[in-house]
Amino acid sequence: MGKWMNGYLEKLAANRRQNTDAGGAQRIELQHQLGKLTARERIEYLADQGTFEEMGSLVREFRFGLQGEAKPSPSDGVIMGSAQVHGRPVMVYSLDFTVMSGSIGDQGIWKIAELIEMAGKQQMPVIGMFDSAGSRIGFKNGFVGLSGMGRLLRNYCLYSGVIPQIALVLGPCTGPMAQVPVLADFLVINEKTGFLWWGGDIASDDVGSAEFHMEQSGQCDLMADSDEQAIDMVKQLLLFMPRNCWEKPAAAESTDDPARKEEALLDIMPNDPKFTYDIHEIIDLIVDNGEFFELKEDFAPNLVTGFARFDGMVTGIAASNPDELSGIMEPDASDKYDRFIMFLDAFNIPLLTLSDTPAYPPGDKWERRGVIRHGAKNLHGYSHLTNPKVTIVLRRSYGGSNIVMGCSKMGPDFIYGWPTAEFAPTGPESIVQAVFHKELEKARQDDNYDEVYNFFLDILKEHFSVMTMGKIFTSYYTVHEVIDPRETRSRIIKALRACIDKSEKMPEKRRFIKPA
């Protein structure tokens, strides 16, 4: 090697030492005292050993501080590059809180924007880890410009649905940067250290926390109690999705009998429909090895969403949960449902719908919250799905929610019903009150109200039963077959196998326009 090269290699080695030192030993120690990993430690924990290849390590803040002195800014506070997770390629970036509190600078924002574009063009997932005080300010040239931010946000939007996008908020994430993790397909927040906030006054102690964004804003998909657990969740999440929209998720070898029957399914649903049950009990019995990866668990729990496998095949599950608000499809549940099924369709993941819902709730409260437009959004979304779709109607399938939950003629590939299924324009109880109000008033006067009410109710329930409606195959709401509940798992697996090579096309258009 020529001596002339020594000087360049020394400069390169010095640059790498500076990057490894990050914001200095004290800042690194403080990060650990706060219960957080450093930016590099997070990437090392995520990536398969020895697979991370850094990019943009030479980048530095090119402006000067208020007093004119240069501020140390290794990698401009953004560690990024390519890696492998489970042997599959990904792009990853991590904001370094030890460097100027992770504040984003002009060069750092452009680094991330370029990485998103590279991930999109190379068609691989992108994972971002956020731990940042926001935009960098206090320099002679002003705060970080919006040019790079605009490029970053646009790239996230352009490659949405092309590559899976996952974000982790592991520290503060405020101001304009708060938009970025919400644009990702899935957001994981460390409940001990994560804080996501656009700006303005903070009115309560929980604002911006993981619990706030899980239970109230609905922007959090998964909560973790440490950086390690958050990253483990991302690793597991990646197993359910393909590399890009042109591929299908990889099937796994199953150790669970695809023909397994579950006697316990016969004992979950109560005899009296006034009583509820937890849909998780059914899900756990039908999926491979009882393993269900739930999303947005505490947001609109009346609708359950998540990933599972059936004979090794990745499947997204959207299920009514009668144990919460009777399983109604109110606005939050509609939003949760819409975003989930759009992701499944974008990445060729089958949808299994488990329906037991009394429909959209009526009344002034819900009308003011826009229940109609939210329901219309679900109708629009489901109508455009081209991925495999299997529906199981368990019990109630009433009103408009019957249609959006993959029933009727909305295009499910296979629709099965338990013999307990009921199809009705609204709950039979409401119909009895509306149609037979004179008879009920007389019965009240004659002191035999319950007897008369139950008489009419039993007649209607018999009429609306799938065991009656199933005799008319094309005119009313119907199913392809009524099944023994114990056969639920095997029927789902056979239906998914039948749809493996499915090809469904939408009418040619530039794009669809979803209701507000």
Q: Are residues 187 and 272 in the same domain?
A: no
Is 475 within a domain? Answer: yes
Mean pLDDT of 143-161: 85
| 79 contacts: CB under 8 Å, gap ≥ 6 | 19, 39, 40, 43, 54, 93, 94, 96
Q: Are residues 287 and 340 in the same domain?
A: yes
In contact, 332 and 300? CB cutoff 8 Å: yes
Is 5 within a domain? Answer: no
What are the E-state strand segments in 77-123?
78-85, 88-95
Q: Are residues 286 and 317 in the same domain?
A: yes
Is 214 within a domain? Answer: yes
Name the residue among 286, 316, 284, 322 with its Cα closest to residue 303: 322
Statement: residue 140 has pLDDT above 50: no
Name the residue among 304, 338, 306 with its Cα closest to residue 322: 304
Is 177 within a domain? Answer: yes
More confident residue, 165 or 404: 165
pLDDT score recorded for residue 142: 43
Is 254 within a domain? Answer: no
Model confidence pLDDT, tens digit, residues 33-80 = 999 999 999 999 999 999 999 999 888 876 655 555 567 788 889 999
Q: Are residues 217 and 309 in the same domain?
A: no
In contact, 42 and 94? CB cutoff 8 Å: yes
Statement: residue 165 has pLDDT above 60: yes
Give the span between the Cα atoms of 292 and 283, in whole angstroms: 8
Instruction: Report the CATH number at residue 187.
Output: 3.90.226.10
Q: Are residues 220 and 356 in the same domain?
A: no
Is 479 within a domain? Answer: yes
Q: Are residues 290 and 217 in the same domain?
A: no
3 state SS for 190-235: ECCCCEEECCCCCCCCCCCCHHHHHHCCCCCCEEECCHHHHHHHHH
Model confidence pLDDT, tens digit, residues 395-410 = 988 877 778 888 878 8
Q: Are residues 145 and 290 in the same domain?
A: no
Is 396 within a domain? Answer: yes
Query: Any alpha helices (H) in 244-330, and if so which ranges?
Result: 279-286
Give the span between the Cα atoms of 156 and 425, in whole angstroms: 41
Model confidence pLDDT, tens digit, residues 230-262 = 999 999 999 999 999 999 999 999 999 999 999
Q: Are residues 26 and 79 in the same domain?
A: yes
Q: Are residues 31 and 119 in the same domain?
A: yes
Domains of the chain: total = 3
Is 258 within a domain? Answer: no
Q: Are residues 471 and 451 in the same domain?
A: no
pLDDT score recorded for residue 153: 94
pLDDT score recorded for residue 141: 45
Q: Residue 451's pLDDT band (boundaries 50, 70, 90)?
A: confident
Statement: residue 477 has pLDDT above 80: no
More confident residue, 43 or 511: 43
Percent of the chain with pLDDT over 90: 60
Q: What average pLDDT does the structure give for the chain?
A: 90
Model confidence pLDDT, tens digit, residues 94-133 = 999 999 888 888 889 999 999 999 999 999 999 999 999 8
Q: Are residues 474 and 385 in the same domain?
A: yes
Which structural domain, as residue segments, surrounds residue 478? 263-421+465-498
Statement: residue 459 has pLDDT above 60: yes
Statement: residue 139 has pLDDT above 50: no
pLDDT score recorded for residue 156: 97
Distances, alpha carbon 229 to alpha carbons 46, 200, 464, in Å: 11, 30, 47
Q: Are residues 377 and 431 in the same domain?
A: no
Statement: residue 291 has pLDDT above 50: yes
